Amino acid sequence: MADGPDRGAALPDTLDAFSSHQRLQANRSEHTIRAYRGDLEALLTHLASQGITRLDEVRLPDLRSWLADELAAGLAPATLQRRSGAVRVFFRWAVAQGLCDADPAAGLKSPRVPRRLPRTLSQNDTETLMAAILDAAALDNGPAGARDAAILEVLYSSGLRVGELCGLDLPDIDRQRGVLRVLGKGNKQRSVPIGQPAQRAVDSWLARRPEWLTPASGDAVFLGRRGGRLDQRVARRVVHDAMRAIPEAPDVGPHGMRHAMATHLLEGGADLRSVQEILGHASLATPQIYTHVSGDRLKQAFRQAHPRA
């Protein structure tokens, strides 16, 4: 008869299995997996200091004392919220795997994080930024200016995450429909409208793209100077460098461009559902509402509301 699950499994021995599950079955990104593992290793260090080394020994007060110690050590509420979330995910998995009978984290509450409005650009700031970057591109004798202008225009036009921007391939550009096919979080695909100024900027960049083309380029839309796919750090630097054109505005990065796009769409009268669909946000409470928003409706909302449609 085969052995059943080890309900007294040593905590460190479960981390590799948990990480593999998050990677292969939960489809978490490597960034999320590393963050979860770091949070859980911090918990294991605390539990070991209390003489707790096995799953069946962990109780809710042990988890609460850990968070209290972390708070006393000066960790920010947002970090504590992420850590408590990682612990809840871990113990739900452990119970599902039969590694423990009860979930000690079921009653673990996250500390409240004060909501702060993210810094964003006004529509005037954005127009100033785009005019400056296009002027710089006109003066640039190489492909860098055309690429950087296209990066700024696409980020603002379509509200892409920086990873989505860098992951774009040439077949993802659908000029006939005026959309980009984007692979977002959780490998979920969506079609995102792209405005005319952004399309023109992309075409200008693609005309210069062969100057940086190498065997490593593949189908990547945006390239680095050595011909490989554009690195996210470079894309962030492009945005921050461009922000110097409007020193009185907040120095936002790519995510700030995404927030500005969403804000300006809503200011222009777009409905919240359409904006959430364009951005690729998922709602755990009502995920079905997004399945009923047609592509035509999204494009109509985009064209009516986006300042650079």
Where on the phi/psi map is residue 215: left (φ > 0), alpha (ψ -120 to 50), or beta? alpha
Two tokens at 87?
A: 């612990």
- Based on the residue annotation, tell me whether 21 is a catalytic residue of this protein: no
Establish whether domains 11-96 and 123-305 are of one fold: no
| Predicted pLDDT of residue 172 | 96
- Based on the residue annotation, tell me whether 290 is a catalytic residue of this protein: yes
Identify the CA nearest to 90 among candidates 24, 43, 50: 43
Q: How far is 238 from 148, CA to CA, in rounded Å?
A: 6
Residue type, 289: I
| Predicted pLDDT of residue 109 | 81
- Based on the residue annotation, tell me whether 258 is a catalytic residue of this protein: yes
**Which residue of the set 21, 37, 200, 290 is catalytic?**
290
- Based on the residue annotation, tell me whether 54 is a catalytic residue of this protein: no
Judge residue 26's burial from the number of C-beta atoms within 10 Å of its C-beta, 0-12 exposed, 13-18 middle, 19 or more buried: middle
**Which residue of the set 28, 88, 208, 258 is catalytic?**
258
Fold of 11-96: DNA polymerase; domain 1 (1.10.150)
- Residue pair 160/200 in contact (Cβ under 8 Å)? The answer is no
Q: What is the secondary structure of 94-139 as a DSSP string?
A: HHHTTS-SS-TTTTPPPPP----PPP---HHHHHHHHHHHHHHHHH
Question: Residues with Cβ < 8 Å from 30, sequence gap 6 or more?
Answer: 23
More confident residue, 301 or 33: 33
More confident residue, 221 or 298: 221
- Based on the residue annotation, tell me whether 185 is a catalytic residue of this protein: yes
Residue type, 208: R
129-180 pLDDT per residue, tens: 888 888 887 777 789 999 999 999 999 999 899 999 999 999 999 999 999 9
Two tokens at 205?
A: 């960049």
Residue tagged 């964003």 (tokens): 120
Report CA torsion sign: 272, 275, 279, 280.
positive
- Residues 173-193, mean pLDDT to the nearest whole number: 88
- Residue pair 265/281 in contact (Cβ under 8 Å)? The answer is no
Give this prediction's pTM. 0.59
**Which residue of the set 83, 88, 161, 259 is catalytic?**
161
- Residues 282-300, mean pLDDT to the nearest whole number: 41
- Based on the residue annotation, tell me whether 36 is a catalytic residue of this protein: no
Average pLDDT, the chain: 82
| Predicted pLDDT of residue 79 | 85
**Which residue of the set 54, 64, 185, 273 is catalytic?**
185
| Predicted pLDDT of residue 274 | 80
Q: Exposure pattern of 100-134 as b/e (b: 16+ CB <10 Å)?
A: beebbbeebebbeeeeeeeebbeeebbebbbebbb
Q: What are phi and psi of 159, to 5 degrees?
A: 65, 30
Residue ranges with strand state E in 134-246: 173-174, 179-183, 189-193
Residue ranges of domains in the chain: 11-96, 123-305
- Residues 9-13, mean pLDDT to the nearest whole number: 65
Q: Name the architecture of domain 123-305.
A: Orthogonal Bundle (1.10)
CB-CB neighbours of 19 under 10 Å: 17
- Residues 24-43, mean pLDDT to the nearest whole number: 86
**Which residue of the set 64, 255, 273, 308 is catalytic?**
255
More confident residue, 159 or 302: 159
| Predicted pLDDT of residue 53 | 82
